[in-house]
Structure 1
């Protein structure tokens, strides 16, 4: 399992519209092969900065199967107009199980 983290900066004043657009796009991720969930987080210190976390079975499920699908185009059509800069995307794997303190 890998987690895609996309840091997204949106245009000032478009935060609520962006959040609604991401909510509309959740079914696109939910129906994607290999997708196991999506979350959107907003920065407290930088309110125009978001982190989109998507859990994928493999990097290929994200970078090939989803990115080459029609649903990726639909995703970008919904959220792309709000981007102030291109998103920065990376993939991570967990190296420490969920630890409670």
Structure 2
């Protein structure tokens, strides 16, 4: 299992519409092969900052299956104009302790 992590900095003038739009976009990502679950969390210290956590079965499910899909183009149209700067996306794997 892979965890995708992105810190999202939303343009101040768009904060009011971001969460409703993200809820709409959630239907897109949750329909993808390899998708497990996702969370969007709001930062308490930085207004307009969120963290997106998405669990995927494999890295390829995200990087190829989602990002190279027609559905990703819909996701991009809904959400990418909200971000400044554009988020860095990183992937993590769990370490068993």
Which TM-score bucket, shorter chain as reference?
over 0.9
1:6-63: per-residue Cα shift (whole Å, max 9, x none)? 1111101322311111100111111100000111011100121111111100111000
TM-score (norm 1): 0.89
- 1:1-101 superposed matches below 5 A: 1-96=1-96
List structure 1 runs of 4+ shifted beyond 3 angstroms. none
TM-score (norm 2): 0.93
Please provide the CA RMSD for this pair. Answer: 1.3
Question: Is residue 22–residue 79 contact of structure 1 (8 Å, CA) maintained in 2?
Answer: yes
Aligned length: 97
Please, which runs of 5 or more residues in structure 2 have no aligned partner?
none
Please, which runs of 5 or more residues in structure 1 have no aligned partner?
none
